[in-house]
Each structure stands twice: as C-alpha cells, then as structure tokens.
C-alpha cells in the first residue's frame, strides 16, 4: 500500500525557494551597503559643512574673542591670502588688530589677535580636514562703488566689500570613499570709519 502523505519538498519547490531567497538577499545587500555608506558619509559631510560655516562666520562676523571683517574700523593690509584689520571704536583706546591668513602649504586658515600667536580656525578642525581655494585666492576685495580692488594695494580705505571663497574637504572628498566636501562663497560689507 502507498502512503498518500508526502513528507518532503519537490525539487521545483526547493529551487523556487532558493531563487526567492537569492533575490531578497541581493536587494537587502544593496540597501544595507547604501545605508552603511550614508551612515559613514553623513557625519563627515555634516562635520565638513560645520567647519566651513564656522570659518566663514569667524572671518566675516567674528567670534567671542575677536570681531569679524564686517566690524572693521580700518583695513591695514589686504592680500589674496591674508587680511589685517582694526576693530574697536574709532576714538577709543580699546582697538586691536585681527589677522586672518590662508596657508596653502598647510591647507588651513589661521587667526591672530594683536601680537598674539596664530591659531587654526575653527579650533576643532581635525587633521584630516583641509581648506582649499581657487588659485590660492581666499579673499577677494571690492571698492565701495562695486568695482574690483587689486589685492596688495596701499589704498585699503577704498575697500567696501570683502568676499571669501573656499572648499572644505575631509580626506579625498569623494562620496564613494565616504568623505565629505563643501564649497562656500560668502562676503560682507566693510564700513570703515576713518
């Protein structure tokens, strides 16, 4: 007598199940790889953007330790990679100078207050973060009438606007290598009081 109950699976059922599992594994692997790249990339990208915004904010608007270019009473020196200006009330003895320097050799931006030592800005910029700019021109200057002002000139009293343009990069800056890159351009009007 033959048993009508079959206790196993047919070959077709086994192959169909294996194909379905393979398809689900492929789709899931693609999603997991993408999510892992985003989980690694996003924090670096956010950090890159924060560093760029911090540099622009400190240079243009200032920080607790020093006021930015927008508060300059006078501009003492203006180069493509450096600016020195004086802040404080025009008739006050509490004036001090601030210098921002872009160093293409170290790919960092430095701030110096008065005759003190230079420090990297922002203070939390990691070693793997670099700042680059086109043709090593970090600062671009404009006269009060809107025309371009040539860096290195002696008539710094004519400067009416300062713009900065730079890119902050972590590592190689490539998404495929989970690195971040952020380019920014910003500026401020300079109201010199002399």
Query: So what's the pLDDT on residue 33?
Result: 81
Residue 86 lies in a domain: yes
Query: So what's the pLDDT on residue 178?
Result: 57
Query: So what's the pLDDT on residue 177?
Result: 59
Residue 184 lies in a domain: yes
Range of the domain at 130: 35-189
Residue 171 lies in a domain: yes
Return the biggest CA–CA distance within the chain: 115
Residue 21 lies in a domain: no
The ranges of the chain with pLDDT < 70 are 1-6, 41, 90, 125-126, 172-178, 193-194
Residue 20 lies in a domain: no
Residue 41 lies in a domain: yes
pTM of the model: 0.76
Query: So what's the pLDDT on residue 1?
Result: 47
For residue 115, give the 3-state DSSP assignment.
coil
In this structure, are residues 48 and 169 in contact, taking their beta carbons and an 8 Å threshold? yes
Burial of 164 (0-12, 13-18, 19+ CB in 10 A): buried
Query: So what's the pLDDT on residue 93?
Result: 76
| CA dihedral (45, 54, 114, 164) positive or negative | positive
CA distances from 35 to 38, 169, 179 (A): 5, 22, 15
Query: So what's the pLDDT on residue 36?
Result: 76
Residue 127 lies in a domain: yes
Residue 43 lies in a domain: yes
How many structural domains compose the chain? 1
């Amino acid at each position: 007598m033959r048993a009508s109950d079959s206790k196993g699976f047919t070959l077709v059922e086994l192959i169909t199940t294996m194909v379905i599992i393979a398809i689900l594994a492929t789709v899931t692997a693609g999603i997991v790889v993408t999510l892992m790249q985003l989980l690694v990339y996003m924090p670096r990208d956010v950090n890159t953007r924060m560093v760029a915004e911090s540099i622009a904010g400190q240079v243009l608007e200032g920080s607790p330790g020093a006021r930015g270019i927008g508060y300059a009473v006078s501009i003492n020196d203006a180069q493509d990679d450096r600016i020195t200006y004086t802040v404080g009330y025009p008739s006050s003895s509490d004036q001090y100078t601030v210098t921002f320097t872009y160093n293409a050799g170290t790919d960092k931006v430095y701030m110096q207050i008065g005759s003190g030592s230079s420090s990297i800005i922002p203070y939390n910029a990691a070693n793997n973060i670099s700042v680059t700019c086109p043709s090593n021109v970090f600062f671009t200057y404009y006269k009060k009438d809107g025309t371009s002002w040539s860096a290195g000139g002696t008539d710094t009293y004519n400067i009416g606007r300062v713009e900065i343009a730079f890119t902050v990069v972590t590592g190689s800056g490539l998404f495929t290598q989970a690195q971040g890159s952020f380019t920014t351009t910003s500026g401020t009007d300079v109201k010199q009081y002399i």
